[in-house]
Amino acid sequence: MANIKSAKKRVRIGERNRKMNRFYKSNIKTLVKKYRLSIKTFETTRDVETYETLQTLISKIYSKIDKAAKKKVFHLRKAARQKSRISNVLKKVGKP
């Protein structure tokens, strides 16, 4: 454990940042899992309502990824790569 006051503060700041980073990452992972499940249901049903939910999910995911990149949780290129992969899955499935 640190003895110097500034070192103790850095430990506290590091812990705070770690919690926020975990929050962003887990939130994005959860949304991506929901997105993948919605893709599978859309493939079977080919329903317009499911496609609309996919569109809303994709916009939420993009928003969360952009916010995480803005706060330096993700590198900008990693954020772009994730968004690209998400959109490519929807392109492969096609429209209803």
Could you read off the pLDDT of 50-61 as tens digits, one per residue?
999 999 999 999
Question: Is residue 96 predicted with pLDDT exceeding 90?
Answer: no
Entry pTM: 0.88
Segments in 1-96 forming alpha helices (H): 5-45, 48-70, 76-93
Percent of the chain with pLDDT over 70: 100
Which amino acid is it at 52? E
Identify the pLDDT of residue 1: 75
The domain of 65 spans 5-93
- CATH of residue 34's domain is 1.20.58.110
Identify the pLDDT of residue 19: 97
How many independent structural domains does the chain possess?
1
Identify the pLDDT of residue 2: 83
